[in-house]
Amino acid sequence: MKGAPTSTCPSCRKRGEWFEGGYGPFCSKRCQWIDLGKWFSEEMIISDDLRPDLFKGYGELPQGTYLDDPGQDPLEGL
């Protein structure tokens, strides 16, 4: 049986099973805070304007709390 998939921490670039811990995709709380600081200081920004075509198809999704819980299947029970 395979172990959990590994990923690269966005802050320190170490590889590990970060989604198994409480900080995924980061390896630690420290790396989470470093990333958040980069957003607050505008070192990281989203430079493209949001366009309506980016949201095409999302209007047809069923209503529910599944958007807040990625473990749920939005089409379950249809």
pTM score > 0.85 for this model? no
Question: Who wins on pLDDT, 68 or 8?
Answer: 8
Q: Which pLDDT belongs to residue 58?
A: 75
CA dist 49 → 4, 41, 52, 54, 71 (Å): 36, 20, 10, 10, 30
Check pLDDT > 70 for residue 42. yes
**Domains of the chain, start order:** 7-59 (3.30.50.10)
| Average pLDDT for 66-78 | 63
The secondary structure element, H or E, covering residue 16 is: strand 15-16
Q: Provide the pLDDT for residue 21.
A: 82
Question: Which one is predicted more confidently, 63 or 36?
Answer: 36
> Whole-number mean pLDDT of the chain?
81
Beta-carbon contacts of 36 under 8 Å, excluding residues fewer than 6 positions away, are: none
